[in-house]
Amino acid sequence: MPERSGKYHSRRTGTYYTPAEIADYITKKSIGAWINERAERTSEMLTSVRVLDPAVGNGVFLLAAAEQLLQQRCRLTEVKDTGQLRGSILSTNLFGVDLRENAVQECRTKLASWAQKTSHELPRSSLQEIVQRQIRKGNSLVGSANSNGQQSNTFKESCNEHRPIISSMKESTSNPLSWSKEFPQVFKNPKPGFDIILGNPPFGNILTSFEKEYIQRKYDAALFGGRRGTWNIAAHFLARANALLKEGGEIAFILPNSIMRTKQFSKTRAFLAGKLGVWMIVDEGSPFQDVTLEMVSVFCSRSKSQKSGIIVMSRRPGIHIENVMPRSTFQDGGIAVLYHDDLFDRVVHKGITGHISATRGRDIPSEHVSENRSDLFSVPYPSSGRSVRRYRFDRKYFKYAEDSYLDEQNLQETKDSRFLLATKNKAYPRCVLKPKGMIHGGGVVSIAVHNQKMNPKVLGLILNSRMIRYLCVRYLTNYSKLTTCLNTGIIEEIPIVYPDIQRPYIALFEFLQNLHRMDSHSQEIQRTIESLDRIADALVYELYLGVGSTLVEKLDEKLENRDNQSNPFQTANSMISEEISKRVKEVLNNSEVLQIENSPKMGN
């Protein structure tokens, strides 16, 4: 076989070449699903199948499709000499489009080389003619694409159809593709469209103004607009694939996994679950070398029932889970909880969402910030995520802002307020209560509480708990390690179970925050912090899972009977009694809690 392990990627064009092993897997699954939906599995059926990669790149998906079709046809016909079959597959089954000339030429060369791997080679002139006809240069997103047969018959008619925006095309490099003109064998027949559309579409906010205008005017699926919509190009490749797909067809794309969980892709998820009929999602982890993207393979079908659950498989290292996710979990555009289970259902039913939200801090120009505190630069400014820890600030990473700059930029209210802060680029919250006299930068988020009955200190203890870490890591970010930002919808989706008895939560939060300000080298203080952390985690486990039922009452009794001791260390230690420790141990040794503690990504 031709060498297919492209490592090329380009941020400018949003392209990341796919490892051959993943392309083989996706292609085998999608072609297999298409075949399994057909009652008669014959060589003639495979002769007519039309496979498209709309962002063909180096041709890795079409090469995988060529091999799969060759194997299937050999199996059905018992042909040993594959020369004619290769030529037939190349000339009738495979179609590709790319905007970049170098990608088109590379794909053509590799497909021609694949077809010549036989003793009965096609003439080179014939091969060149075939690959030039089947692999075309153009913009897959722009140009008439209506798989119901109502196509413009000529390029002139296509231009007339788009005359309201044709003037902008003259200044555009969008290279609109007339699908019926380039692939008449696919669209000029009673059943137009492709049977299988697969590939690795580009990703990122790289659409031109012309492309956006075209999508707004011509696409049925409006995946853009508002906080729940996106102009990320990958989403619109899904919409385009749907328009090009034949009834009963299959779509299989590898996509960044942020499509499964961030707010801007809410409309895209609803489209996947509804219109596209997604039936399987495979968590691929981080398959691309030197690229900070985590991916999922998404399989959709026009022929499968949309009432059944969605199969979830993990190929992520260290996560060996096969699951069935209820379609309802993201049919309305909510987070696609790939690792859904009964525990998640119970917690969601018990808690409430949407009562807290996260907002990224303000970046201040460098000329108004200093590494060192002075009379001019006097306002503490934690700007990086490393400056915020659980219950404390790490002042090694502090900067200091110019006080006069805050007045000009309306930041004085932020400075004069107290609220929870958390690290932005983290899969789960790491919270501290911001004092007055401080502002925060872009690597930190403020947590707004939208229910006046909720105490920020109670929420801080809950958000810092191991229970919430598990909910975020497993369910709300799908075990993602990269590009997880708390201000992209994660915080809003955390189910908050708010306690009836709040005093122990407030006290523990205050104790832990005060103790973290004390001598960090004191082993006695560190032991106390560890003990209080265990109590806090047990308290939240009890609240969320209903394991045990008396810890919160016993802690409340302790606090009610305590002396008004001014030393937070002594007050905190008074809570670590033998009776409390026994109840904490009972909670933490519960089988469900142990299962959480021993699950992936829960290490300290």
Residues in the chain: 604
Let me know if residue 3 belongs to a domain.
Answer: no
Q: 421 and 439: one domain?
A: yes
pLDDT tens digit sequence for 169-186: 443 457 899 999 999 999
Three-state DSSP state, 401: strand
Chain-wide mean pLDDT for the chain? 87
Let me know if residue 159 belongs to a domain.
Answer: yes
Task: Provide the percentage of residues in the chain whose pLDDT is more than 70.
Answer: 89
Of 307, 340, 373, the residue that ends a domain is: 340
Q: Which of 204-218, 378-392, 479-493, 504-518 has the lowest mean pLDDT?
A: 479-493
Let me know if residue 81 belongs to a domain.
Answer: yes
**Selection from 217-226, 452-461, 513-522 with the highest mean pLDDT:** 452-461
Question: What pLDDT, on a 0 to 100 scale, did the predictor assign at position 173?
Answer: 56
Q: 369 and 332: one domain?
A: no
Question: What pLDDT, on a 0 to 100 scale, did the predictor assign at position 14?
Answer: 52
Of 340, 365, 389, the residue that ends a domain is: 340
Let me know if residue 1 belongs to a domain.
Answer: no
Q: 318 and 353: one domain?
A: no
**Stated pTM of the model:** 0.88
Question: What pLDDT, on a 0 to 100 scale, did the predictor assign at position 152?
Answer: 40
Of 286, 317, 340, the residue that ends a domain is: 340
Structural domain span for residue 484: 341-470+480-493
Let me know if residue 393 belongs to a domain.
Answer: yes
Q: 349 and 397: one domain?
A: yes
> What would the mean pLDDT of 151-157 be, rounded to a whole number?
41
Where residue 289 sits, what CATH number does that domain have? 3.40.50.150
Three-state DSSP state, 136: strand
Q: Give ∠ CA 537-588-423 in degrees, rounded to 5.
A: 30
Q: 256 and 280: one domain?
A: yes
Residue 372's Cβ-count burial label (10 Å; 0-12, 13-18, 19+) is: exposed
State how far the Cα of 416 lies from the Cα of 273, in Å rounded to an integer: 45
Q: 114 and 102: one domain?
A: yes
pLDDT over threshold 80, residue 80: no
Q: 355 and 325: one domain?
A: no
> What would the mean pLDDT of 201-206 be, rounded to a whole number?
93
Q: How many structural domains compose the chain?
A: 3
Provide the 8-state DSSP code for 18.
P
Q: 410 and 462: one domain?
A: yes
Q: Band of the pLDDT at 327, cuts 50, 70, 90?
A: confident
Q: 213 and 277: one domain?
A: yes
pLDDT over threshold 50, residue 284: yes
Where residue 458 sits, what CATH number does that domain have? 3.90.220.10
Place of tokens 């791997």: 117
Q: Band of the pLDDT at 401, cuts 50, 70, 90?
A: very high
Q: 107 and 86: one domain?
A: yes
Let me know if residue 57 belongs to a domain.
Answer: yes
Question: What pLDDT, on a 0 to 100 scale, did the predictor assign at position 330?
Answer: 76
Let me know if residue 177 belongs to a domain.
Answer: yes
> Do residues 415 and 438 make contact, with C-beta atoms less than 8 angstroms apart?
yes
pLDDT tens digit sequence for 116-148: 876 455 666 688 899 999 999 999 999 987 644
Q: 187 and 86: one domain?
A: yes
Q: 290 and 155: one domain?
A: yes
pLDDT tens digit sequence for 524-572: 889 999 999 999 999 999 999 998 778 999 999 988 876 555 566 777 7
Let me know if residue 475 belongs to a domain.
Answer: no
